[in-house]
Amino acid sequence: MTAKADTPRLTLRELPGEAQEFIDDLAPVRSLNTCRTYRVALRRLYQWLQERGIAAHQMTRRDATAWLRHLNRQGLAPATRSVAVTTARLYLQYLESRGRLHVPADQLLSSRDLPKLPETLPRALRREDDHNLRKLLAASNNPLWLGLLLMRQTGLRVGELAALPYHCIRRDSPERSYLMVPVGKLNTERLVPIDNGVQEIIERIQTLGRQDRRNLVASRKRTSTTTRSIRRALAAAVENLDTKDDKPICTHRLRHAYATEMLNAGMSLGALKEILGHLDVNMTLRYAKPTLDLLSTEYVNATEATLEHYGLPQEPTSADVAETPAEILETLAHIIARNASEKSNSVQNKARCIVKRLYRIGGDLAKLDI
């Protein structure tokens, strides 16, 4: 029989003392956004517990299963449910470590309870829509629209665009310039190589609006902007496009468009990982799947055309052959990712782990200059 808890009803912003203690203990080692995410997830859990008069430290596996079903019935996205379950697991483990749990945490919630996340393809823009949108943004003197164009040409996240300082260009020589992206979503800062075209966009934005502002992108009367304003600006720009895309054009799709363009142009996954500010090459692989399929198809078509026209396939030149161990490992990583793209999810997950190890070894070899 489930134990009942004599606890007062929570308000929207309140958490019980032990839950707040859990958040406070994490604050020194987790980002502010992560702590906020945990707090929201725990409110979701405690609201359900409170409505049923259940104390967290007296939960049973039956209670945990009922809560999982409740999350599913709410129609929450798999990613949202995954965050809720992961947070609840961490919290229950925290209670167990302090002797406050009646049942071992792993018996209440385990990794098997995490919802399966959908394997979504990158959401790059249609080529025609991408061309028309860039043309439209470039013709504007609206600083937010030009900021969107800067996002498309550099792969910035919307939060990174909003946080860009007014003076954001760094140079290590007259010929090489970089966009200085401040600490953002993943608590990392990075330099993104830029060309003359991107520098011109930045310089145009700098001439618009207040000259005493602290951020690069802002409305004409303000010194900074918000991600909400940037998203609204994109929505207004898209209204001027005659697009046949069946998915909404959101700010993150500009990032996907940039990544896909770079991969199609021959940029390696390792280099793109650094430019996009990913901590793990598996994150970058999400952008690569359709690109690898496209390259494979085009290669087969080109080989068949060569055989038909000349009778013999063209031999690869020395420039096409990987010469260093790091290049060989990168080529192997591409082949593994491509061949695993049509396999089962378990095979794809194992392939991602192998690709990650190959890139790590390749990076170590490159540092040794072998």
pLDDT tens-digit map of 295-339? 566 666 666 666 666 554 444 444 444 567 777 777 777 778 777
Q: What is the pLDDT of residue 307?
A: 61
CA torsion sign for 75, 79, 82, 88 is: negative
pTM above 0.95, yes or no: no
Q: What is the pLDDT of residue 10?
A: 42
Find, among 94, 108, 25, the residue nearest to 59 by Cα.
108
The residues of the chain scoring below 50 in pLDDT are 1-12, 312-321
pLDDT digits (tens, 9 = 90+) for 7-53: 344 444 578 889 999 999 988 888 788 888 899 999 999 999 999 99
- Here the tokens at position 181 are 């992206």
Contacts of residue 52, defined as CB under 8 A and 6 or more positions apart, other chains included, come to 2, 63
Maximum Cα–Cα distance across the chain: 84
DSSP state of 191: E
Q: What is the pLDDT of residue 139?
A: 95
Q: What is the pLDDT of residue 184?
A: 60
Find, among 193, 181, 198, the residue nearest to 267 by Cα.
193
Q: What is the pLDDT of residue 288?
A: 66
- CA separation for the pair 100, 191 (Å, rounded): 47
